[in-house]
Chain A
């Protein structure tokens, strides 16, 4: 545990530096762009726990994300709790959805599981469209407070919140990866039958993975309504979230916590730049092309490429 605490402290220190850097720039645009990138860090890291560590490809990330988003919409219209109080709630509901999905679909293998997750997102989407309390298909306005204590703007506040969430997400993912649980998940990814024969309770571990992954995706969605101030299903369930949550780990590298982090920072930033310099619509095109390139040419992602280079250099020197 001590080494995990050490990592957390180091990660928080990095987060603090990021915060100080952005505060020094002091431009709201940095917070807007930074929030989006960090949100993808959480989403990609969450996706990777199931998709990368366990080998179950989830096409329905948007569904879990949306549970977090709409938890906030509901709370906003009823109890009006502050965002930090909604985080565990949205996470919990998305986690329960993950657990339920796991129970129903984890007996399916490979592509059938993935199709089931896609179907889940579609089902949830149409449920939200028909739920008028949260605005149905037309959407709902979520007015954020004009100002908030300790922060120069509400957007800065949300940015800092997402910075903390991203730090925690990466920390959790790294802890899982290096734990007994993480080793069991890796065994499942490699060969489920052999994992069982080695004593790994595969169903239980997969349910933990779907629940944890869902929880983290839900948490990622909670602050969004206050960030965009207007949520509607077609935006919340947009292809972008599902594709990015999957593409970022795949491009960064799925076997380690570092992969989704690198992938999300790189692609997230690239997309923010492209939105400004080109147009918002080329974003997915960029991601799509990169995804195809990596999956075909470098299936182990940037991390895999890095390791291969290190190995080659070492061999030449040794």
Chain B
């Protein structure tokens, strides 16, 4: 196996008395495509938040490219190569679509001037036509594409896409899938959180399953979805 780009070990996260993550181990190898599955409320987004710094983990550690990052502020983690999308989109509402992307280019993507790179990225996610619209005017679906564009603009080594395909048509899902595959071919590791099973099965080389804050399966996609414990978690007893 290729060397690990991200290694998270024994991640704990509590909200008051509620245990959202319970000793979760999570690794991503360089160039790998990982699917992260789990029922609603199982802790997927919370794990992303702990990896990227939107939340502080209560226990465990996160190592990115050989350096511990779990006490760094978010922007430093992003600059070290880990980018994420927000499941509930968080656009910069006073800015146009293009300007949203330019912020990430300027502050994380190593662009010296937010010049010509934004249109190329917007073209890839299919938002080029709307580049000069206010991000306030976008639909939920377009806002998810904008999330993806902004994460790509940070030029990450590892991109975590938290349900960017929710609400997309089948054709659009295939478009985004193709985009993520191209991105992966250029060397970016990708973690995909998705409820759209066929997309995950088509995309992932490995699948992790979280249930109630614990990792219950991790491995080959075909084997994982046939795992009785996974079936039980998804279909009930």
Q: Which residues of A contact B (CB under 8 A)?
A: 180, 183-184, 186-187, 189-191, 193-203, 255
Contact = CB atoms under 8 A, between A and B. Distances in A.
A200 B99 CA distance: 14
Interface string B60-98: 000000000000011110110001101000111111000
A186 B154 contact: no
A189 B54 CA distance: 17
Given A183-B103, A197-B86, A199-B154, A191 B93 contact: yes
A199 B52 CA distance: 11
B106 to A, nearest CB: 6
A197 B93 contact: no
A194 B99 contact: no
A180 B103 CA distance: 8
Given A198-B104, A198-B150, A202-B75, A189 B94 contact: yes
Contacts of A194: 86, 90-92, 150
A201 B90 contact: no
B95 A196 contact: no
29 contacts: A180-B106, A180-B107, A183-B99, A183-B103, A184-B103, A184-B107, A187-B107, A190-B91, A190-B93, A190-B95, A191-B91, A193-B54, A193-B74, A193-B90, A194-B90, A195-B92, A196-B75, A197-B52, A197-B54, A197-B83, A197-B86, A197-B90, A198-B78, A198-B154, A200-B75, A200-B107, A201-B75, A201-B76, A202-B75
A121 to B, nearest CB: 29
Interface of B: 52-54, 73-76, 78-79, 83-84, 86, 90-95, 99, 102-104, 106-109, 114, 150, 153-154
A287 to B, nearest CB: 26
A191 to B, nearest CB: 5
Contacts of A193: 54, 74, 86, 90
B233 to A, nearest CB: 30
Contacts of B73: 196, 201, 203
B79 to A, nearest CB: 5
Majority secondary structure, A binding face: helix
Contacts of A203: 73
Contacts of A255: 94
A199 B79 contact: yes
B111 to A, nearest CB: 10
Nearest to A194: B90
A174 to B, nearest CB: 17
Contact of A196 (B78, B91, B114): B78
Contacts of A200: 75, 103, 107
Contact of B78 (A183, A187, A189, A199): A199
Contacts of B109: 199
Nearest to A198: B104
Contacts of B92: 186-187, 190-191, 194-195
A201 B53 CA distance: 13
Contact of A187 (B79, B103, B114): B103
A202 B76 CA distance: 11
A196 B74 contact: yes
B96 to A, nearest CB: 12
A183 B153 CA distance: 15
Given A190-B92, A199-B104, A199-B108, 19 more contacts: A183-B99, A183-B103, A183-B106, A183-B114, A187-B92, A187-B95, A191-B90, A193-B54, A194-B90, A194-B92, A195-B92, A195-B103, A196-B75, A197-B150, A198-B104, A198-B107, A199-B103, A199-B106, A199-B109
Contacts of B54: 193, 196-197
Contacts of B75: 195-202
Contacts of B86: 193-194, 197
A255 B95 CA distance: 11
A195 B86 CA distance: 12
Contacts of B106: 180, 183-184, 199
Top-5 shortest CB links A-B: A199-B108, A199-B107, A196-B74, A190-B92, A194-B90
